[in-house]
Amino acid sequence: MSIPQSFIQELLSRVDVVDIVGRYVQLKKGGANFMGLCPFHGEKSPSFSVSPAKQFYHCFGCGKNGNAISFLMEHAGMGFIEAVQDLAQQVGLQVPDDDISPQEKERAAAARQKQATLTDVLEKAAEAYRRQLRISPRAVAYFKGRGVSGAVAKRYGLGYAPEGWRSLASVFPHYDDPLLEESGLVIVNDEDGGKRYDRFRDRVMFPIRNVKGECIGFGGRVLGDDKPKYLNSPETPVFHKGRELYGLFEARAAIREQGFALVTEGYMDVVALAQLGFPNAVATLGTACTPEHVQKLLRFTDAVVFSFDGDAAGRRAARKALDGALPHASDTRSIKFLFLPPEHDPDSFVRAHGSDAFARHIGDAVPLSRFLIEAASESCDLGTAEGRAHMASNARPLWSALPEGVLRRQVLTELAQLAQLEAHDLSDLWSKTAAQEAARHPGTVASHRHAATPTDEPPWGAPADAGWQSPGGYDSPPKPPFRKGGDWKGGSWKKKDAAPWPPQPRLPRTPTASRADHAARLLLSHMAFLEELTHDDHAALCAQPAPHGPLFSWLEGQFHEHGPQAWALLRESLRGNPCEALAVKVMTGSHAQTEGDLHELRLELRDLLNRMLIEDINAQQKNLILQAAQDPTALERYRALEQRRNVLQGILPRTP
């Protein structure tokens, strides 16, 4: 998107930098200018000056300076276009873009209006939940029992959703307003005559805010042992859990002051750590850390420390975070991984051992380069040639995801030393392997050097449950090709006395079944797989043409509301639903049997989703080629899509 410089000048002439800065910094008149505490570094005496005459801010302490646009970019973590659009919306201007059709402009304006309306609705609910907290002894006792003070509760806007099915009816006079459902506050039961009820009931509430401070969703925790313990808002036009981080709005200043962001796994971790002296903590929203999460954090700091529980689940979460962080691990950034003892989470560790001990653990966190090598070496016997080969095979897709630079070369050197090879030999070997795969599969394998593609041998070097995860967040690529005289069992070849079995397909297939049919069949049979999907996966499924897209949307809604359910229960819930016919069709007949090894079934689903995503990328690239003559950024977007497509192709299971 190219914004004319003349529009930028007009925009800056209409906004008042004092108003923009004053929303984030308490300013007091001091002569011709306004003064306040600098939001970019910690200070006790005001050295931050805002000039209404020059429409300029300047800190005499740290040297930060700029106009209203740069302030939003530096302080709120917005991109340039996002900051311009935000300011333009405030003063009623339309950002010009000649490449966008009038219809697209109208849709964009409607989307912005819808976003503003939904955040207003959510903020009104947040205020109601805060009022309820003040009059709920049980909820207050819960927070006090977790050591949360009133000041911290106020800072994070903590609240309480009371018992009862329709408590929000007292907040919103028009309880049947479609916005309540669209914002995720209310659930509509179409199977019971369209009855409405509150999504959050008898839960302490954690409002989720975007970097501008707008309420975009909620997390709710039960006060007892009911299930699910935590309940998040569903995906909405303003809330995408794969992009947002809990506590980032509240932690921005502390992240800059402390010099790093601390990423945890839960709402209470963030709140408790803020109470105990670590206000720079944020949390993912019940999903694996994504590249979008990492990119958003790196707008505020060049140092990120991921803090995970020391149990197996924590190691798996760290492994997924590694995948998300690798593309952003440039030479000037520091990304580390902190593992606590298995019996502790950050909250309990600080309470048991104190803030100083936790700070020491942060200082001793494992650098990304070391964790990459540990992940590649997991379950590999480096004392044998076979184990070193497995390690190198594991390492190739991880190393390939690193951006070009000194770090990438140093990691290559360390991996080569472990493999007992020269660095250039290992690099050449990986390049030749990629070239061979490109020759065998020209349409499905990345052609660039060091593409993240599977080798002829299984790239995990251990059974599937050993913890290897692919860049897509799933277990390792499929089982290796058949070998004469043996079979693959538990990570090693077991010789058979009888004649070898012929190659077998992973699952029975119906030749006429579409990818969407098969994906629906797998998810209806194994609903828990939804928890492992990325935001892009969900978006690709829900964007499928009817009736598949509505079925996937319905299934995701059921998952958020009830958790994983068996097909028998889903079948009853579907009665009378427009998606019923499709669901029954894909779940009927011999082809609908999806029992078997869950690892293999996950790979089957990963294969389908990657192909759907690649088809969508191909369509986007065709459009970008047509736009390239008028839009100079089209080729840049094309290359970004190409890189993403290459990664997806690199982890596609090879078809027989």
105 pLDDT band, cuts 50/70/90, is low
**Residue 174 confidence (pLDDT) above 60:** yes
The rounded distance, in Å, linking the Cα atoms of 140 and 291 is 36
Share of the chain above pLDDT 90, in %: 30
Tokens of 151: 């000041």
459 pLDDT band, cuts 50/70/90, is very low
Give per-residue pLDDT as tens, 341-350.
888 888 888 8
Q: If you ran DSSP here, which 8-state letter would residue 219 be given?
A: E
Q: Containing H/E element for 373?
A: helix 368-377
**Residue 433 confidence (pLDDT) above 70:** yes
The rounded distance, in Å, linking the Cα atoms of 366 and 236 is 36
**Residue 555 confidence (pLDDT) above 80:** yes
Tokens of 298: 């790196």
The rounded distance, in Å, linking the Cα atoms of 513 and 257 is 56
Would you call 280 helix, strand, or coil by DSSP? coil
Q: Which pLDDT belongs to residue 608?
A: 83
Q: Any alpha helices (H) in 259-367, and if so which ranges?
A: 267-275, 291-297, 312-325, 346-353, 355-363
Q: In what order do the strands lie in the sheet with 33-36?
A: 28-30, 33-36, 48-51, 56-59, 65-66
Residue of higher predicted confidence among 294 and 566: 294
Tokens of 178: 């479609």
Give per-residue pLDDT as tens, 106-141.
676 666 677 778 999 999 999 999 999 999 999 999
- Are 238 and 315 in contact by the 8 Å Cβ rule? The answer is no
- Are 122 and 215 in contact by the 8 Å Cβ rule? The answer is yes
**Residue 463 confidence (pLDDT) above 70:** no
- Sequence-separated contacts (24+) of 441-448 with Cβ below 8 Å: 441/654, 444/649, 444/652, 445/649, 445/650, 446/645, 446/646, 446/647, 446/649, 446/650, 447/646, 448/646
454 pLDDT band, cuts 50/70/90, is very low
Q: Which pLDDT belongs to residue 152?
A: 94
The rounded distance, in Å, linking the Cα atoms of 65 and 42 is 16
Q: Which pLDDT belongs to residue 136?
A: 94
Whether the upstream peptide bond of residue 397 has omega within 30° of 0, thus cis, is no
Rounded average pLDDT over 244-251: 92
Q: Which pLDDT belongs to residue 505?
A: 33
Give per-residue pLDDT as tens, 70-93.
888 888 778 888 888 888 888 778
The rounded distance, in Å, linking the Cα atoms of 275 and 153 is 9
CA distances in angstroms from 466 to 19, 238, 402, 490, listed in the order given: 55, 37, 23, 11
The rounded distance, in Å, linking the Cα atoms of 287 and 332 is 27
Q: Could you give all domains of the chain from N- to C-terminal order, each with its CATH number?
A: 5-91 (3.90.580.10), 108-232 (3.90.980.10), 248-431 (3.40.1360.10), 515-649 (1.10.860)
Strand residue runs (E) in 210-286? 215-222, 230-232, 261-264, 281-283
Q: Which pLDDT belongs to residue 595?
A: 55
Q: Which pLDDT belongs to residue 588?
A: 75
Ramachandran area for residue 485 (φ above 0: left; ψ -120 to 50: alpha; else beta): left
Strand partners, 493: 488
Rounded average pLDDT over 215-224: 92
Give per-residue pLDDT as tens, 26-52.
888 888 788 999 988 877 888 899 988
594 pLDDT band, cuts 50/70/90, is low
**Residue 453 confidence (pLDDT) above 60:** no
User: Integer distance in angstroms from the first to the last C-alpha of the chain?
Assistant: 43
Give per-residue pLDDT as tens, 472-520.
332 333 333 333 333 333 333 333 333 333 333 332 333 345 788 888 8
Task: Burial-class residue 43 by CB neighbours within 10 Å (0-12, 13-18, 19+).
Answer: middle
Residue with tokens 């700029």: 66
The rounded distance, in Å, linking the Cα atoms of 379 and 467 is 9
Per DSSP bridges, beta strands 230-232 and 281-283 are unpaired
**Residue 413 confidence (pLDDT) above 60:** yes
Q: Which pLDDT belongs to residue 654?
A: 39
Q: Which of 246, 338, 242 is nearest to 288 (CA)?
A: 242
Q: If you ran DSSP here, which 8-state letter would residue 466 be given?
A: G
Q: In what order do the strands lie in the sheet with 159-161?
A: 159-161, 203-209, 215-222, 230-232
Q: If you ran DSSP here, which 8-state letter would residue 655 be given?
A: P
Give phi and psi for 384, each to the nearest 5.
-120, 155
> Mean pLDDT over all residues of the chain?
80
Q: Which pLDDT belongs to residue 450?
A: 37
Tokens of 388: 């070193």
305 Cβ contact partners less than 8 Å away, ≥ 6 residues apart = 260, 261, 262, 263, 335, 336, 337, 338, 362, 365
Rounded average pLDDT over 88-106: 72
Residue of higher predicted confidence among 598 and 481: 598
